[in-house]
Amino acid sequence: MKRTTEELLCDLKQATDPAAISTLCEEIVSHHIGLVKSIATEFRSSGEPLDDLIQTGYIGLLSAVANFDPARGIKFTTYATYLIKGEMRHYIRDKCSTIRIPQWIQTLNNKIKQEEARFFQEQGRPPTIAELAQLLNLTTEGIAEVLKARDTMTYISIDQERREHDPRPPLIDISKIRSSQNTDFPLEHRMEIITAIESLTQIQRDIVTGLFYESKSQQELGKELNLSQRQVSRLKAQLLNKIKERLAAVPPDGN
């Protein structure tokens, strides 16, 4: 008997064997091929090949399978539809846009996208701009400008009205994108540092977290990571050099 999506998702939640996880994911995806194709047809007016849209939709579906939490109480198809449409819109935007968006704004876009998906699964609805601004410590005006760069305004509840889809994003005013916190440290520099940290290995990120965010000593951190204090010191020097090299390669205008 063919198992339901709900049963497969419950099994996936409990699975630990990589082979079993892969099999379950493939089975869940096969259940929703029709959903991806149906959504892809909604975007045919974009001019992009249907096959390309479908392949892009599978990325959103796989993301839904990987991140769905049955305990949240939201239907899987609702969550998957949200992510599938998001991937297709992002694909169309990237293909059609002739605007060069600075790397730090693209990084910030990804952070917003992750927060939207998390919020949607927890609350069962898209976040408002005000809610996103509070979650990401940005001004509402700044959030609105960032969202213009990737055509996600159709996801956000603005006066409860949905905006018409336009794959060509409008020009954005970078000067409006700023943190809601009073700080002299430019937001674009913060995002470049975050990007640099995310490029580190897991143990390097653990050292950054321990030393610079949790204020642990090298000796304390070494015990937690099963490393000597000298090894922690050497890894710290290496990762700081890596971050400096990455930041030094960023053009002055942040592009």
Render pLDDT for 112-135 as a digit per residue (tens, 0 to 9): 888 888 888 888 888 888 898 888
Residue 157 has a pLDDT of: 35
pLDDT in tens, 46-94: 778 889 899 999 999 988 888 888 777 788 999 999 899 988 887 877 6
Q: How many residues does the chain have?
A: 255
- Could you tell me if 191 and 104 are in contact, meaning their C-beta atoms sit under 8 angstroms apart? yes
| Predicted local distance difference test score (pLDDT) of residue 180 | 52
The single residue listed with the structure tokens 């603005």 is 158
Residue 101 to residue 110: CA distance in whole angstroms: 13
d(CA 69, CA 76): 9
Cβ-based neighbour number of residue 93 at 10 Å: 20
Q: For 2-41, what is each residue's pLDDT tens digit?
A: 788 888 888 888 888 888 888 888 889 888 999 999 999 9
**pLDDT tens digits along 163-173:** 344 444 444 45
Of all residues in the chain, the percent with pLDDT exceeding 90 is: 8
E strand or H helix that includes residue 74: none
Give the list of residues 6+ apart from residue 99 with CB closer than 8 angstroms, or none.
Answer: 149, 169, 171, 172
> In what helix (H) or strand (E) does residue 71 lie, and over which residues does it extend?
none
| Cα(116)–Cα(151) distance, integer angstroms | 14
Q: Which residue has the tokens 């939207």?
A: 116
147-179 b/e with 16+ CB inside 10 Å = b? bbbbbbbbbbeeeeeeeeeebebeebebeebbe
d(CA 16, CA 11): 10
Q: What SS3 state is found at 179?
A: strand
Convert 4-18 to b/e letters by CB count within 10 Å (16 or more is b): ebeebbebbeeeeee
Per-residue pLDDT of 132-149, as tens digits, reads 888 888 888 888 777 766
Distance CA 3, CA 8 (A): 7
d(CA 206, CA 197): 10
In angstroms, the Cα distances linking 207 to 198, 216, 237 are 13, 9, 11
